[in-house]
A and B are shown apart, each in its own frame.
Chain A
């Protein structure tokens, strides 16, 4: 109940502040299993892409949240668990555990996920090199559709280190799905994925 209210409040807030516009240029919004991968410039990215998805997809799409940041306080943990239904991921490898295991579990259950393959928030300008997670998941789950997305303007909404967001129109552009070719090199694929995201910036 509280989570439902919170999600309405957040949706309203994001719409008032940013317009939360989704631009489906390369593919329609569709309830198939997908990995959305996007540029990462702000913690608000997670909320933004969640708000831009249509309601029907929001329920079956789980954002990936950095465990150290999003479980730091009980409130952050509650909001990512109860409202966003997020999957936590460790940014640093600990022991023998596979950091991708929680993501793989979510995909096995049939959920779609939202991934920020840069791993950490970049500054303005081009996204940093993508981490290998996207490649590994694409290999293990070849049936899942890979959709690139570009989140525009969000670094102006809430720059690193600021608390109060400023109203500015933002949009999420979804591009045409990409596929991992048979025997494609990891580096080549990751660079191709990164370019697919960057290409959406100018459209």
Chain B
């Protein structure tokens, strides 16, 4: 099996990965469709099973979308991939800003964030200007945003408004831009056409650890053994569920290491770093949501803001990507 995989060209290997991924999604979708045909009584159990199925279908739709984004990105090259991730960052930031009230004085700062900072950051990513790419937002934008806000002459809740905007930019733009940045890393003794595998590696291990953590929390709750660590913030975060997620992500990282520049041990360690950053980042975003008084970003389709919950799906990736990227760069001395 392994020697067969190694005999394939990088392109064929990535192709095989996509066949496997879309095949898996197709099977899950057929499963969900068949499950939706089953009759459910109008009892509380029936309602909860319907809600669970709807939730699962939502996750499935997001996975299809993500897989399609990856596929289009891989099929059409680094530039298109970078643009696609820039679009995801744009929509995520739109959602973040919608949930954080701004004042009229923030208008110019928002224009700066959406139409200057975001394109410049992704342009720096696509052209591999790694020195500036790393410091552009934390150093230059950090100053530029409050300056524009101050010029708008509105002191009310100045720190709070600027902090929110800075946070939105850090999470949605800076974090997300580190995903396509993996595509342009230059590893020694490694075919750079295969960098798409690194993006996959990151997304898959983080997503897997999040899903396993979620499922483990549900299992524990069923057995009434769920010990919430921060019940005010998350109704599902417990150390045991978190450890289960970490273990799953780490093991998967070890297994998948053969398609990355890592050795199995390195793959395991990198996966653990990414999963820890992703799961804690997700927890932090939950705290932010609670602060705003909303549970999921926008609260589903019926919300008054029309938010679609994109941020819920990508926040773990946004936090994991910079940590993963810089760990890899430091370790391999790139």
Pick the contact of A168 from B98, B298, B303 — CB < 8 Å? B98
The answer to whether the Cβ of A19 comes within 8 Å of any Cβ in the partner chain is yes
Residues in B with CB closer than 8 Å to A86 are: none
Interface of B is mostly: helix
Instruction: Report A141 CB to chain B, min CB distance, Å.
Output: 31
Q: Find the B residue at minimum CB distance from A172.
A: B306
Contact A169 B107 (CB under 8 A): no
The answer to whether the Cβ of B302 comes within 8 Å of any Cβ in the partner chain is yes
Contact A203 B304 (CB under 8 A): yes
The answer to whether the Cβ of B315 comes within 8 Å of any Cβ in the partner chain is no
Q: CA A19 – CA B307 in complex, angstroms?
A: 8
Contact B111 A153 (CB under 8 A): no
Contact B306 A21 (CB under 8 A): yes
Contact A156 B307 (CB under 8 A): no
Residues in B with CB closer than 8 Å to A171 are: 303-306
Residues in B with CB closer than 8 Å to A166 are: 97, 107, 110-111, 114
Pick the contact of B107 from A19, A152, A162, A201 — CB < 8 Å? A162
Given A162-B107, A168-B94, A169-B298 in contact, is the A153-B305 Cβ separation under 8 Å? yes
Instruction: Report B270 CB to chain A, min CB distance, Å.
Output: 34
Residues in B with CB closer than 8 Å to A149 are: none
Q: CA A18 – CA B305 in complex, angstroms?
A: 9
Considering the complex, which residues of chain A in the window 141-167 have a beta carbon less than 8 Å from any beta carbon of chain B?
A: 152-153, 156, 159, 162, 164, 166-167
The answer to whether the Cβ of A23 comes within 8 Å of any Cβ in the partner chain is yes
Contact A167 B304 (CB under 8 A): no
Considering the complex, which residues of chain B in the window 71-108 have a beta carbon less than 8 Å from any beta carbon of chain A?
A: 90, 93-95, 97-98, 102, 104, 107
The answer to whether the Cβ of B140 comes within 8 Å of any Cβ in the partner chain is no
Q: Which of A156, A169, A203 has the most CB of B within 10 A?
A: A169
Q: CA A23 – CA B299 in complex, angstroms?
A: 14
Q: CA A203 – CA B307 in complex, angstroms?
A: 14
Considering the complex, which residues of chain B in the window 113-133 have a beta carbon less than 8 Å from any beta carbon of chain A?
A: 114-115
Considering the complex, which residues of chain B in the window 285-308 have a beta carbon less than 8 Å from any beta carbon of chain A?
A: 298, 302-308
Instruction: Report B102 CB to chain A, min CB distance, Å.
Output: 6
Contact A169 B302 (CB under 8 A): no
Instruction: Report B157 CB to chain A, min CB distance, Å.
Output: 15
Instruction: Report A154 CB to chain B, min CB distance, Å.
Output: 12
Pick the contact of B97 from A21, A162, A167 — CB < 8 Å? A167
Given A167-B90, A169-B307 in contact, is the A153-B98 Cβ separation under 8 Å? yes
Residues in B with CB closer than 8 Å to A201 are: 304
Considering the complex, which residues of chain A in the window 88-146 have a beta carbon less than 8 Å from any beta carbon of chain B?
A: none
Q: Which of B93, B97, B102, B104 has the most CB of A within 10 A?
A: B104
Contact B306 A170 (CB under 8 A): yes
Pick the contact of A152 from B90, B104, B305 — CB < 8 Å? B305
The answer to whether the Cβ of A173 comes within 8 Å of any Cβ in the partner chain is yes
Binary B-proximity of A24-48 (CB < 8 A = 1, otherwise 0): 0000000000000000000000000
Residues in A with CB closer than 8 Å to B98 are: 153, 168-169
Q: CA A93 – CA B303 in complex, angstroms?
A: 40
Q: CA A164 – CA B111 in complex, angstroms?
A: 7
Given A159-B107, A162-B107, A166-B114 in contact, is the A173-B304 Cβ separation under 8 Å? yes
A-B CB proximity, top 6 nearest: A21-B306, A171-B306, A169-B98, A166-B110, A167-B94, A19-B306
Given contacts A18-B306, A159-B104, 16 further A-B contacts (CB under 8 A): A19-B306, A23-B302, A152-B305, A153-B305, A166-B97, A166-B107, A166-B110, A166-B111, A167-B93, A167-B97, A167-B114, A169-B95, A169-B307, A171-B303, A173-B304, A203-B304
A residues near B, CB below 8 A?
Answer: 17-19, 21, 23, 152-153, 156, 159, 162, 164, 166-171, 173, 201-203
